[in-house]
Every structure is written in structure tokens, then in C-alpha cells.
């Protein structure tokens, strides 16, 4: 009995060590990787503000943004699992507290209601259309009169010229 128990523990320890090595090699510190990706995105966006990016850097920026979402999802999943582990480990001693911890992130990232021009909008289609309208109006370019310098006037660009 004791010998078979010892073998099981030894095999289990070996599997646990292999899993730790696999986790470190394939995943590593996701939060650290996320911070690195965010800083690289910030650098490229700062460069983009000064000069347009070359096609290679545009592809790199798109790839970094995809990586950012991947790492963010992994970090969120890790913390969700960790909150469940704590709840299972500590049991019902403080159920309300652990329920709040597990649901805090979900509640924090929801839009339940918005105030728009004095009206309280609660339905999803109303909130979506209001958000789209708000950001559309925020970022649309104002119509300006073309600049003139005395008798010199600048030619106006037409749509066909822009998309050729």
C-alpha cells in the first residue's frame, strides 16, 4: 500500500513539474507580455502621429493589437479562475464577499443606462445608436472654406482624385 502510494505521488509530482515547464515555455507571464505589447503599440502610434507608417509597420501594429486582445483575454481568464479557486478553497465562510469578487469585473464592464439630452436610455439598440452617433459627430471633420492667399487660390481636390 505504502509503495504504490509513493509511486503515485512521484508520478504526480513529475506530471506537475512538466505542466509548470509547459506553462512557462508556452505562456509565460501574460501580464508582463501584455505590458510589453501595449508599450510597443504606444510607440508605433506616437510615430504614426508624426508621419504615416510604412506598410510593414502598419501590419506590425495590426498584429500587436491582435496580440493585445489575446493577452488581455488570457489575463482576464486567469483572474476569473483564480477567484473561483479562492472561493472553492475558503468555502462558504464569506460567500457574499467571494460572489462580489467574482462578479465585480463583469458588472464593471457593462453599460446599463446612459443619459442623453436628459433622457435615460436603457435598451441595447438605443444605447448603441446613441454611442455611434456621439462618436460620429465627435470625429467627423468640420466643413471649412478653402484657404485663399490674395489672388492665389488653391485647387480643390475631388473625390475621384482621392481614391485613384
Domain boundaries, the chain: 25-110
Spell out where 110-149 has E strands. 114-116, 119-121, 148-149
Question: 99-134 pLDDT, tens per residue?
Answer: 777 677 666 667 778 888 888 888 888 888 888 888
pLDDT beyond 70 at 161: no
- Per-residue pLDDT at 67: 92
Provide the whole-model pTM: 0.44
Distance of CA 120 to the CA centre of its chain: 28
Contacts of 45 (CB under 8 A, 6+ apart): 61
Alpha-carbon distance 51 to 41, whole Å? 15
Question: 37-59 pLDDT, tens per residue?
Answer: 999 999 998 888 888 888 898 89
What is the average pLDDT value for the chain, to the nearest integer? 79
pLDDT beyond 80 at 5: no
- Per-residue pLDDT at 88: 66
Alpha-carbon distance 36 to 151, whole Å? 54
- Per-residue pLDDT at 148: 60
Amino acid at each position: 500500500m505504502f509503495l504504490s502510494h509513493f509511486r503515485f505521488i512521484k508520478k504526480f509530482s513529475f506530471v506537475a513539474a512538466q505542466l509548470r515547464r509547459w506553462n512557462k515555455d508556452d505562456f509565460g507571464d501574460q501580464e508582463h507580455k501584455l505590458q510589453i505589447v501595449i508599450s510597443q503599440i504606444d510607440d508605433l502610434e506616437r510615430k504614426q502621429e508624426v508621419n504615416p507608417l510604412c506598410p510593414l509597420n502598419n501590419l506590425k501594429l495590426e498584429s500587436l493589437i491582435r496580440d493585445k486582445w489575446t493577452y488581455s483575454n488570457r489575463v482576464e481568464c486567469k483572474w476569473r479562475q483564480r477567484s473561483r479557486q479562492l472561493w472553492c478553497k475558503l468555502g462558504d465562510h464569506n460567500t457574499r464577499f467571494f460572489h462580489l469578487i467574482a462578479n465585480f469585473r463583469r458588472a464593471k464592464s457593462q453599460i446599463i443606462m446612459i443619459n442623453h439630452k436628459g433622457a435615460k436610455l436603457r435598451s441595447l439598440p438605443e444605447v448603441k445608436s446613441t454611442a455611434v452617433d456621439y462618436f460620429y459627430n465627435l470625429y467627423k471633420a468640420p466643413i471649412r472654406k478653402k484657404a485663399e492667399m490674395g489672388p492665389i487660390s488653391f485647387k480643390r481636390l475631388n473625390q475621384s482624385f482621392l481614391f485613384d
